[in-house]
Amino acid sequence: MQVTQRFAQLLIKNVGRVIVGKEDAVELMMIALLCRGHVLIEDVPGVGKTTLASALARSLDCSFKRIQFTPDITPSDITGFSIVNFKTGELEYRPGLVMSQIVLADEINRTSPKTQSSLLEVMEEGQVTVDGTTYRMPSPFIVLATQNPVDFVGTYPLPEAQLDRFFMRVSIGYPSQEEEIDILERYTSGARPMEELKPICSSQDIVKLQQQVDTVYTSREVRAYISAIAAASRKNGALQLGVSTRAAISLLRAGQARALLQGRDYVSPEDIQKMAEPVLAHRLVLSPEARMRNMTAQRVLANVLSAVQVPVKAR
């Protein structure tokens, strides 16, 4: 566990050379990485969504590809395609852009729903199927997607099935005045921290850390707490779609990873409460009445959490 904490500190410090003052966002992305989950980075333009994803990728000694999503990107560009080898007369597979350990899906909501759906299989099962043949993704594998929630021109909102594939949603937010001064100072001096960023661990190290998450103990009381949260969301009148079973499993896994980063070998109710919003909020669908009252998924989720009894015993 000390190794995991040390890795977390090194990763946050390394990414911090490029992104100023966003330790919480980096920690959340690390939790997703340890849980073999994908991340949707959603925020207004210009706050560093793509920079954060690129800095995380450069900090890990893994293969990396960036896909700039546009309306003309096709599913075969993503998954790959088969082509006839005229010398042998056989079909040969040409890998698509997604064939990498870390994939940055930049502005994912600017491509068509058909192309978006090409990511469903690979995000859920870690494989792509082309012409009846299945190709496994390398390990570790994570999709870091970005989108702008305020620009609706030329965009295609992600459907619920796609959103449910994302382990968590992360928002960066504007920097404080002191942080922004620091950012401006870096650019005034002509520094290029992204180009100087070096990997701090290998893909084998990440796989070992992912295996450690599986060893973190979760008591029956904590599992019942997660189930109660899911059940309460499904009965909440402000929600048209509550927490799915996949989302409940993701919350459990996120709790395990957070406990590991905190130096514990068991999950506490606090871990579940801390991870509930980034893991669950983007999966909830508000009812028409709730949208008319300008309610948010975060606010409804907070009401759900406050209504569920917190277990006393966690071990």
Q: pLDDT per residue over 85-135, tens digit each? A: 887 878 888 899 999 999 999 999 899 889 998 999 999 999 999 988 899
When pLDDT is cut at 50, 70 and 90, the band that residue 2 belongs to is low
**Pairing mode of beta strands 90-95, 133-136:** unpaired
Give the per-residue pLDDT at 224: 96
Residues 6+ apart with CB under 8 A from 228: 308, 309
Which one has a higher pLDDT value, 136 or 153? 136
- C-alpha 155/C-alpha 153 separation (Å) is 6
When pLDDT is cut at 50, 70 and 90, the band that residue 28 belongs to is very high
**Would the pTM of this model clear 0.85, i.e. be above it?**
yes
Taking only the tens place, the pLDDT of each residue in 32-89 is 999 999 999 988 777 788 888 888 888 888 888 999 998 899 999 999 998 888 878 7
When pLDDT is cut at 50, 70 and 90, the band that residue 182 belongs to is confident
Give the per-residue pLDDT at 180: 86
Which one has a higher pLDDT value, 13 or 274? 274
Q: What residue ranges of the chain are covered by domains with CATH 1.10.8.80?
A: 215-307
The number of CA neighbours under 13 Å toward the Cβ of 264 is: 16
The mean pLDDT value for 235-263 works out to 93
Average pLDDT score, the chain: 88
Q: What is 215-307's CATH number, 1.10.8.80, 3.30.10.20, 3.40.718.10, 1.10.230.10? A: 1.10.8.80
Q: What residue ranges of the chain are covered by domains with CATH 3.40.50.300?
A: 2-207
Question: Top-level CATH class of 2-207?
Answer: alpha beta
Instruction: Single out the residue of 56, 72, 76 nearest to residue 64, CA to CA.
Output: 56
When pLDDT is cut at 50, 70 and 90, the band that residue 197 belongs to is confident
248: number of Cβ within 10 Å: 19
Q: Rg (Cα) of the chain, in Å, rounded? A: 20
